[in-house]
Amino acid sequence: MFGGYPAAFEDAAPPQKTAATAGGRSAGRLKTDNRLDGNMAFSLSPETLKAHFARARVLVVGDVMLDRYWFGDVSRISPEAPVPVAKIGKTDQRAGGAANVARNVASLGGQAALLSVTGNDEAAGVLEGLMRQDGVAAHLVRDSEIATTVKLRVVARNQQLIRLDFEETPHREILDSVKDQYRALLPEYDVVVLSDYGKGGLLHVASMIEWARRAGKPVLIDPKGGDYEKYAGSTLLTPNRAELKEVAGSWRSEAELAEKARRLCRNLEFEALLLTRSEEGMTLFDGNEIINQPTRAQEVYDVSGAGDTVIASMGLGLAAGLSLPEAMHIANSAAGVVVAKLGTAVCPFDELAAALEKE
């Protein structure tokens, strides 16, 4: 059993979902039956959690990229310029952006689908292959006039020497076809995750949120940029500290932070906001309720991709019938697993279970 972890169900029937409330803020929220009094808590067994995850279906939409890594060693400075010379000994490539969100869902045992735009090139083929390998149903619409977004990192002695980015914005005609495919896929999934990396793939984000709300599907968003109005009506946003400050301004106290978060949720009709706070853990602002989760004590190796793991875990948790606080508990533990790994990484279910057992 997971030590002391409050669960909404223990060997219970599959979670039930309420229909959307027309025009109301509760539209798209996932509820769970079989709840008991708040003073009574059960520990959720790994077997039960795994079974609920296996039935949960998450549709991930957003910007994808291919993360390429060149690993080498540096022993001298170039005679051509004052820069290190890296002798490459190994290469690796991993799915990044929204594709990393989808693979995190699949790694935890959920049913994941990915909808995005790529170029019509070798990198797109690699991404499709990686998605098949990770058990993700990939719906990658190819735009023959752009290149797939690629981030190439040169790493020596576990230090990143340089990152080279290759990216182009998809064309509107292609994005219109993505919108149509989204509407077709939506009925098949329990939760929608929109992963915004600012690459142009979520041109129709407002319409996607509205359609999901009408269908009673929770919409979780990993935001980008200073305009949160386009995310109005979504169920949950997961900004980090820098992203929230860009929108709401800085704060001098926890009370001021809480007021800014509540105002943002109220003005833009977000059901809740999950603030990831690096070494300070994460804080969930859910109506008038504020819940803090401390960072899991461990050595941090690489934080890249941790936000993908957080929103993937939150989406899968809600699709499996967990409440927002319960899903946050899962997300915090999963993020603690991936920051101990190099580069964009995932948290397999057995590693999540082991992390929860230690609590």
- Known catalytic residues are 308
List the beta bridge partners of residue 84: 77
The answer to whether the Cα torsion of 142, 194, 311, 259 is positive or negative is: positive
Structure-token pair, residue 176: 């219109």
Q: DSSP readout, 44-108? A: PPHHHHHHHHHH-EEEEEE-EEEEEEEEEEEEEE-SSSSSEEEEEEEEEEEEEEHHHHHHHHHHT
Is 220 in contact with 234 (CB distance < 8 Å)? yes
How many Å separate Cα 275 from the centre of its chain? 13
The answer to whether the Cα torsion of 354, 356, 357, 359 is positive or negative is: positive
Distance, in Å, from the CA atom of 130 to the CA atom of 42, rounded to the nearest integer, reads 38
